[in-house]
């Protein structure tokens, strides 16, 4: 039976763990984690707004993302953009911001982020739904 370490010994169980990350095990993210990050990140971009599903069949709200978190990670995200906004700039900003947030939060760098503008929403239509000013 091993003897206990003396009180002054600074060694710990962590000292016996493998120091190379791959030797410690793997970390796997579910696709829904990527979806949540992408949808939240898209809403942080100027010109992107949240919309609930509309129409007779309900539809999906925006932003709505699909993600594959295994490497290479890929994303597809549908957004609603305020009109008038520079649509190309908004899409490029969404792509860059989603890539950055996924990288920052998971350590995974997406190889592809497709952005689909599902709806243009006039600023005036937003005011009319909120009632008189």
Q: What is the dihedral of CA 46, 49, 50, 51, to 10 degrees?
A: -170
Condensed to tens digits (0 to 9), the pLDDT of residues 97-110 reads 999 999 999 999 99
Q: Which domains does the chain have, with CATH numbers?
A: 28-128 (3.30.70.1350)
Report the first-to-last Cα separation within the chain, whole angstroms: 79
> Which residues, including other chains, have CB under 8 Å from residue 76's CB and lie 6 or more apart?
65, 66, 67, 113, 114, 116
Q: Which residues of the chain have a pLDDT value below 50? A: 130-133
Two tokens at 64? 């709505």
For the entire predicted model, the pTM comes to 0.75
Averaged confidence pLDDT in the chain: 84
Q: Give the other-Cβ count within 10 Å of 26's Cβ.
A: 6
**CA angle 53-55-61, nearest 5°?**
10
Which pLDDT does position 7 carry in this prediction? 57
Alpha helices in the chain (DSSP H): 21-24, 31-43, 87-106, 123-129
């Amino acid at each position: 039976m091993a003897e206990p370490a003396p009180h002054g010994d600074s060694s710990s169980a962590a000292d016996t763990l493998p120091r190379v990350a791959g030797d410690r095990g793997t970390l796997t993210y579910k696709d829904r984690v990527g979806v949540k990050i992408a949808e939240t990140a898209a809403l942080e971009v100027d010109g992107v707004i949240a919309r609930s599903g509309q129409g007779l069949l309900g539809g999906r709200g925006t932003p709505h993302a699909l993600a594959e978190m295994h490497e290479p990670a890929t994303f597809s995200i549908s957004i609603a953009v305020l009109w008038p906004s520079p649509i190309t700039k908004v899409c490029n900003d969404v792509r860059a911001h989603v890539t950055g947030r996924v990288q920052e939060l998971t350590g995974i760098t997406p190889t592809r982020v497709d952005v689909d503008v599902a709806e243009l929403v006039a600023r005036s239509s937003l005011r009319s739904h909120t009632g008189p000013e």
